[in-house]
Amino acid sequence: MTVIQVKTTEQKQAVRMIRERVFVEEQGVPSHLEYDTHDETAIHLLVLDEMNRPVATGRTRPYDEQRMKVERVATLAATRGKGYGGELMQAMERIARREGRTILTLGAQVKAIPFYQGLGYAIVSDEFDDAGIPHRTMEKKI
């Protein structure tokens, strides 16, 4: 598997395909909520499987002087549980370190909390609603 920083139009289309399938089709997030102004400035990553097929994506962006925010983490349903999400999150940590940040913060869907806890993230907020899905803020010092 390979994690790449998205640069080409083809890679951007792969990111959009994954987000459409996972968030819009599977989870029912309205398209107008899925895409925002941060898409233009965030660092987008794409995970390619062993056959060079796009299977997971996420984005990160500066949040404050200490934090990078991780957002829109999505893995195609058929490829979950194969380590792609973990590789993606390790790449996010490398970017945060490169950017001089010491904390990664994210809004985790409640059902994904065990995944993030397994990577060393801790819950730092009460539950909140985002696009009709319960979330909690989680952070990891890196």
One-letter amino acid for residue 24 of the chain: V
pLDDT at position 29 is: 94
pLDDT in tens, 21-60: 999 999 999 988 999 999 999 999 999 999 999 999 999 9
The 3-class SS string of 7-61 reads CCHHHHHHHHHHHHHHHHHHCCCCHHHHCCCHHHHCEEEEEECCCCCEEEEEEEE
| DSSP state for residue 119 in the 8-state scheme | T
pLDDT at position 133 is: 95
Taking the model in full, what pTM does it have? 0.94
Of 68, 63, 29, 64, nearest to 45 by C-alpha is 68
pLDDT at position 38 is: 95
CATH topology of domain 2-141: Aminopeptidase (3.40.630)
pLDDT in tens, 62-79: 999 999 999 999 999 999
For residues 93-114, average pLDDT: 97
Judged by phi (left if over 0) then psi (alpha if -120 to 50, else beta), residue 81 lies in left
Domain ranges of the chain: 2-141
List C-alpha distances in Å: 42 to 7, 37, 38, 50, 62: 12, 9, 6, 26, 8
pLDDT in tens, 117-141: 999 999 999 999 999 999 999 999 9
When pLDDT is cut at 50, 70 and 90, the band that residue 96 belongs to is very high
